[in-house]
Structure formats: C-alpha cells, structure tokens
Amino acid sequence: MPNAPELSPAARLEAAGPAASPPPAPPFAPWIPIRSLSPRHRERIAAHLLALSERDRYLRFGYAAGDAQIQRYVDGLDFDRDEVFGVFNRRLQLIALAHLAFPQPGQPGPQAAEFGGSVVAAARGRGYGARLFEHAMLHARNRGLDTLFIHALSENTAMLRIARKAGARVEREGSESDAYLKLPQDTLASQVEQWVGDGAAEIDYRLKQQSRLVGSLIDAIGEVRSGIGKQPGQAAKD
C-alpha cells in the first residue's frame, strides 16, 4: 500500500484545527547569549552536528543521519530565508544550535515556522534547549508569524517537554508527534527585546574572540620566554 503524501507544516496545522491561546510569559531565567549565525559559520555548524552521537542524530533529524547527510543539510541551509542561531562556549565552539525554518513566501494557510534544535551532551541540563525555543518564539513572532511548529519523534521527550512547558499543544500519531504553539502579535516591546538581546549576544561573542586572542598571545609570549631561558647549546640538543 503506497504511503500517504507528506503534508507541509502549514497543511498539518490547518488540519489540526484552531490552536490554543498564547501561553503566559515564561518565568525569569538567567540570560544566555544566543547569537544569530551566517554562512561563514557553516564549518562550526557542521562540527556541532557531526559531534552528535548516533542516538542524538536520530532524535534531531528523525533518522540516523550519516556524516554525508549532515554535511548536505549544512550546505543547504538558506540563511536568507531561515534563521540559524546558537550558543558559543569560551572556546567559540557551538554547544547549542537551533534552526528556525520559515514558510515559503506566498504559501497559503496558517503561517507557521518550524523549529529544530540540538545541544551537545556535555552542556545538557542547563536550560539551553528551552532558551533556544524561547528565542525562536520571539523571532518568529517578530516576523509576523502566528504559530511555532515542531515535528519530532514521539520518543524525543526532551524536545516535546520544552514545547509543552511553553504552552504548545502536542498531538501524537504513532512514532511521530506534532507540537503547535500559538504566538501573540509582535509589539514594540518584543521588537526592542530582540534588538537588545541580539546586540548583547554579539558583544558577548566579540569579547570571547578577544579573550581567545589574548590567551593565544600570552601562550606565545610564554613560549618565547621559555626559549630565551634555555642554556646555550640546549636548543640544539632539543
């Protein structure tokens, strides 16, 4: 028996009926610098995804994605239409990553953005996934969209828990689940919140860059001093 044609996020949303009212504002949480990414970050994005375990790749993509499939995904990211953002550690490694996919221009039906994210194993339990989702909510809202959508494996309980906690309606159908979160209209306050948050994250990234440069310079100076301090003839023996 042939498989039924896969519906687009907008079609699935339309078939699901009206979404719930907007969720209340989330409780206060420590600020996390989430930086928007661009094509020049493809290498770091690929490094983050390729470092995921086989199980994590399965949950993130819905199938056991191999290295070549992940690289094709990264190469195909459309930074002009969609938004990709993440959290960097002090070594400028991406420890949390999200992709907010926007509908094609002129697409009929409800205007839903689709969210997908991942966090490296060593950084889990710190709220990064929830903050990435909140960040996506704000950006989708400010782009004039009315719904944030997640299509995930039903066993991806961490992702679905984040969606439920934000107020999303989750509908399960066998091994897959869909989560729909109704978004409020954008306001001047939401636009300013995005502008301030994006600016602060950019400053944080630049400071981490400077810290890395200073650290490298100190290491280089230490190596020079070590070389100067050697006894005559010791360098030749080394």
pLDDT tens for 17-64 read 544 454 454 444 467 889 999 999 999 999 999 999 999 999 999 999
pLDDT of residue 226: 57
What is the model's pLDDT at position 142? 93
Domain count, the chain: 1
Q: How confident is the model at residue 109, as a pLDDT? A: 64
pLDDT at 237 over 50: no
Q: State the DSSP H helix or E strand holding residue 201, giving kind and residue range, or none if neither.
A: helix 188-228
The domain in which residue 44 lies consists of 31-221
Q: How confident is the model at residue 85 (pLDDT cuts 50, 70, 90)?
A: very high
Q: How crowded is residue 218: how many other Cβ atoms within 10 Å of its Cβ?
A: 10
C-alpha span between 87 and 201 (Å, rounded): 9
- Higher local confidence (pLDDT), 99 or 204: 99
* Residues paired with 117 in a beta bridge: 98
Do the domain assignments include residue 40? yes
According to the model, what pLDDT value does residue 1 have?
A: 45
Are 137 and 24 contacting, i.e. CB atoms less than 8 angstroms apart? no
Q: Average per-residue pLDDT in the chain? A: 81
CB proximity list for 67: less than 8 A, separation 6 or greater: 50
Provide φ and ψ at 59, rounded to 5°.
Answer: -70, -35
**Residue-level pLDDT at 25:** 46
In a domain, 229, yes or no: no
Residue 182 lies in a domain: yes
| Contact criterion met (CB below 8 Å) for 111 and 103 | yes
The two three-digit tokens of residue 20, written as one number = 């719930």
Q: Of 9-18, 83-92, 110-119, give the lowest mean pLDDT range.
A: 9-18
Is it the case that residue 10 has pLDDT exceeding 70? no
Please calculate the CA angle 171-176-182 and round it to the nearest 5 degrees.
Answer: 35
**pLDDT for the residue 205:** 79
Taking 90 as the threshold, does the pLDDT of residue 7 lie above it?
no
Q: Which helix (H) or strand (E) holds 72?
A: helix 67-75
CATH (domain of 47): 3.40.630.30
**Residue 3 in this model has a pLDDT that exceeds 80:** no
Residues 199-228 pLDDT 10s: 888 888 788 877 766 555 555 555 555 555
The answer to whether residue 4 is domain-embedded is no
Phi, psi of 149 (to 5 degrees): -125, 140
Residue 20 lies in a domain: no
- Cβ burial, residue 98 (10 Å; 0-12/13-18/19+): buried
Selection from 146, 132, 144, 139 nearest residue 193 by Cα:
139
pLDDT tens for 125-183 read: 999 999 999 999 999 999 989 999 999 999 999 999 999 999 999 999 889 999 999 99
Residue type, 174: G
Which SS3 state, helix, strand or coil, does residue 185 take? coil
Strands (E), 82-189: 83-88, 94-101, 112-119, 147-153, 169-173, 176-182
